[in-house]
Amino acid sequence: MRLRRGPALSSYFWLGVGALYFIVPLFATFLFSLNKNSTGKCCTLDSYSWVIHNGDFWHTLRVSLLLAVETIVISLLLFVPTIYWVHLKVPRLRPVIAFLALIPFVVPPIIMVVGLLKVYKGTPDWFYAKPWGFLAAAYVILAFPYTFFSLDAGFRAIDVHTLTEASQSLGASWPTTLLKVILPNIRAAALSAAFLTLAVVLGEFTIANLAAFHTFPIFLQYVNETQAYPAAALTLMSFGLTWLAMLSLLLVGRKRGGSRGVVGGAR
Amino acid sequence: MAYLELQNLHRDFGTVKALNGIDISLGEGEFLSLLGPSGCGKTTALRLVAGFDRPDQGRIVVDGKDVTTISPNKRDMGMVFQAYSLFPNMTARQNVEFGLKIRGRDKADRRNRVAELLDLVGLEHAADRYPHQLSGGMQQRVALARGLAIEPRVLLLDEPLSALDAKVRVQLREEIRRIQLELGITTLYVTHDQEEALAISDHVAVMYGGVIEQMGTPAEMYTSPATPFVAEFIGTMNRLEAIVLDGAEGDVEHSGTRLRVAAARGRRNGERVLVLIRPEALELEAATNGASANSFAGEVLTQTFLGPVTRLKVTSNGTSLIADLSTARAAALPVGARVVAKVPSEGAKLISLPDDGPGLPVLDLDDQ
């Protein structure tokens, strides 16, 4: 009998095609970003220097990163207990919530922002005029589908009923059960919800623009319209920063143990 | 004095009566198995005792204290579940330690208790393994240690062996009984496996349709079933519907065959009864001159090898009988052989049947 020694040659071919699809645009952008802004000639790191020394870059990046963290925290605080409760006590409501979670996909952001501006009109300035209030609220809604479907998959992968009852029979209260038993076992799902929320917030343009907030995507768009080479540098840097932020989340959320996070067995 | 009492428990789910007034009284340190088919209400009863559900009516009393409305985390009930219930994010040691941490026990105390319990279930070597690194049997052992760690007032086991293979199941049930006797802990055990229930319990309660059909020691349940359902459910039983012909002599008639059954003495003539005969009590021999007294003449239909015994199915004028013979004796009665099945007068039991209803059958003998 002949033993297979490794993946077929065609696997490498398609892997290469896939890699090229992603790498070529990045490499082209990188080459473009090396041109000097004033002469258009290669090769200089002036565009990167311009970005790094731009105050708006750091300011908008800070705003967007903090907004992302705020959105992630609010979303997880709101949806982890809710989805846990739905799975445990009212599973018939799950399809209803799944349907609600699809609405931000269906309603275009431009319509959503007009609606939200009307709804929140009249709220205090600390909420309506600040990104930490209005924008964070809008982003929680915008990230709802990603948060819900990630967490829902996590809860479906564990036996919520048995783990909860086991924990309670050992004397644990509801909060202890949620924090010590349930949360560690949906950690991967919570992390994936956080990744997706981070990506949504760092890339969201329409709502921030129409609500007149100065976030990182707004800065990116402004640079793109006015300075071609620094825009390419900024694009690459934002790409790298997003990956860095995701890596940080992964490191923060990583656990020491060897759990698989899945409970088997019949019920 | 009763340590655990379930008093007139009722629980409905919509139109389904899961529990229809069950009463159980269990002494301290005793082991009771709730036995019955799926949907009989045994798990519902256990969940009410654990506090995961509330009865519509009735009370649960532990050591003289009404715990019916107390939340599950304050009941001090150790529980082992049917599904693997270890916390996947914790090692075996951390799982066992969990309840002790909740109770605020100090570290040294916790360490000693965990080591003691893991030793008790023979898993001290696997203390640092995560659940996915343990076999099903090992996981249930850790779950048992975890349930016992909190020194519960009552230990509840909800079909803890049903997901395990046959050999591990037998080993572990013996271990559960050993540990229960060693610790003297009051235990309520739910199972649908009658062999399991009979093997390890002080008392068995057979449930059907939300009520307890009969409760007694395993020997009582096996030798003296009180209802047709119990007779059907516990072990294998030949059941012959009959009419009492002569209550003074103990004569009954089944499908034209007259049988003398000691248990029928004193019965009213014309009463409908069910004659119950265990397969091992039925005497089978090769036919020489047709049926003799108290016997059926018939033919061997099938032989099923069960190891030390062989089970023979015999048919006689539409009556199906099952007899267990030693495998050596069964070899002399091959399929198709003409045989005589003698009904022992003293070994047969009797149950009254309602005069106007069928009362039977509940299960098919072929399934046993």
Q: At A261, is the pLDDT very low, low, confident or very high (cuts 50, 70, 90)?
A: very low
| For range A173-189, the mean pLDDT | 94
> What architecture is the B236-356 domain classified under in CATH?
Beta Barrel (2.40)
DSSP state of A222: H
pLDDT exceeds cutoff 60 at A258: no
Tell me the three state secondary structure of residue B181: helix
Neighbour order of strands in the sheet with B65-66: B16-27, B2-13, B57-62, B65-66
Tell me the three state secondary structure of residue B178: helix
pLDDT exceeds cutoff 60 at A225: yes
Q: Is residue A226 part of a domain?
A: yes
Q: Which helix (H) or strand (E) holds A244?
A: helix A228-253
Question: How far is Cα B310 from Cα B283, in angstroms, rounded to an integer?
Answer: 13
Cβ–Cβ gap A169/B77 under 8 Å? yes
Cβ–Cβ gap A265/B84 under 8 Å? yes
User: Is this prediction's ipTM beyond 0.90?
Assistant: no
Mean pLDDT of chain A: 88
Residue B142 has a CB neighbour count (10 Å cut-off) of: 29
Q: What six digits make up the tokens of B250? A: 């103990």
Chain B contact present for A130, CB below 8 A: no
Could you read off the pLDDT of A22-34 as tens digits, one per residue?
Answer: 999 999 999 999 9
- Residue ranges of chain B assigned to CATH 2.40.50.100: 236-356
Strands (E), chain B: 2-13, 16-27, 31-35, 57-62, 65-66, 77-80, 154-158, 186-191, 203-208, 211-216, 238-246, 251-254, 257-260, 272-277, 283-286, 295-305, 309-316, 319-326, 338-342, 349-352
CA A234, A236, A237, A239 torsion-angle sign: positive
Any idea of the CA torsion for A179, A182, A184, A185, to the nearest 10 degrees? 180
| Full residue range of the structural domain in which residue A72 is found | 48-256
pLDDT exceeds cutoff 80 at A61: yes
Chain B interface residues (partner A, CB cutoff 8 A): 50-52, 71-79, 81-91, 98-99, 102-103, 130-133, 143, 146-147, 150, 156, 162-163
Hey, of A169, A173, A255, which one would you mutate to test binding to chain B, going by the most B CBs within 10 A of its CB?
Answer: A169
Return residues 153-192 of A near B (CB < 8 Å). 158-159, 162-163, 165-173, 176, 180-181, 184-185, 187
What pLDDT, on a 0 to 100 scale, did the predictor assign at position B287? 84
A78–chain B nearest CA distance, Å: 23
Cβ–Cβ gap B98/A158 under 8 Å? no
Question: How far is Cα B233 from Cα B225, in angstroms, rounded to an integer?
Answer: 9
User: Among residues B343, B149, B140, which one has the least CA distance to residue B238?
Assistant: B343
Chains A, B: CB pairs < 8 Å: 106
Chain B contact present for A257, CB below 8 A: yes
A113-116, long-range: CB within 8 Å, 24+ apart, which pairs?
A113/A138, A113/A206, A113/A207, A113/A210, A113/A211, A114/A210, A116/A141, A116/A207, A116/A211
Closest to B99 (Cβ–Cβ): which among A163, A165, A171?
A171
Tell me the three state secondary structure of residue B84: coil
Q: Which residues face B304 on adjacent strands?
A: B311
pLDDT exceeds cutoff 60 at A81: yes
Q: Which residue of A has its CA nearest to B164?
A: A265
Q: Which helix (H) or strand (E) holds A62?
A: helix A55-88
DSSP state of A178: I
Contact B49, B156 (CB under 8 A): yes
Cβ–Cβ gap B90/A257 under 8 Å? yes
First to last CA, chain B: 38
Closest to B132 (Cβ–Cβ): which among A172, A187, A260?
A260
Q: Which residues face B211 on adjacent strands?
A: B208
As for how many domains chain A has, the answer is 1
Tell me the three state secondary structure of residue B338: strand
With a CB cutoff of 8 Å and minimum separation 6, the contacts of A111 are none
Q: Is residue A11 part of a domain?
A: no
- Residue ranges of chain B assigned to CATH 3.40.50.300: 2-229
Question: pTM of whole model > 0.95?
Answer: no
Within 8 A of A158 by CB-CB distance, chain B residues are: 88
What pLDDT, on a 0 to 100 scale, did the predictor assign at position B367? 39
B159–chain A nearest CA distance, Å: 10
Q: Is residue A102 part of a domain?
A: yes
Q: Domain holding A159: CATH number? A: 1.10.3720.10
With a CB cutoff of 8 Å and minimum separation 6, the contacts of B178 are none
Q: Which residues face B9 on adjacent strands?
A: B22
Question: How far is Cα B319 from Cα B310, in angstroms, rounded to an integer?
Answer: 20
- Kindly state which CATH superfamily the domain B2-229 is placed in: P-loop containing nucleotide triphosphate hydrolases (3.40.50.300)
Cβ–Cβ gap B88/A260 under 8 Å? yes
pLDDT exceeds cutoff 70 at A255: no
Question: How far is Cα A37 from Cα B145, in angstroms, rounded to an integer?
Answer: 71
Q: Which residue of A has its CA nearest to B149?
A: A170
DSSP state of A132: I
Contact B48, B9 (CB under 8 A): yes
Q: Which residue of B has its CA nearest to A174?
A: B73
CA distances from A125 to A2, A89, A128, A131, B332 (A): 73, 39, 5, 11, 98
Considering only residues A39 and A212, tell me which one the structure prediction assigns the higher pLDDT: A212
What pLDDT, on a 0 to 100 scale, did the predictor assign at position A263? 37
Q: Is residue A70 part of a domain?
A: yes
pLDDT means per 10 residues in chain B (368 residues)? 93 94 95 94 95 95 95 94 92 96 94 93 93 93 94 94 88 91 94 93 95 94 88 88 91 90 90 91 83 84 92 91 92 91 88 67 40
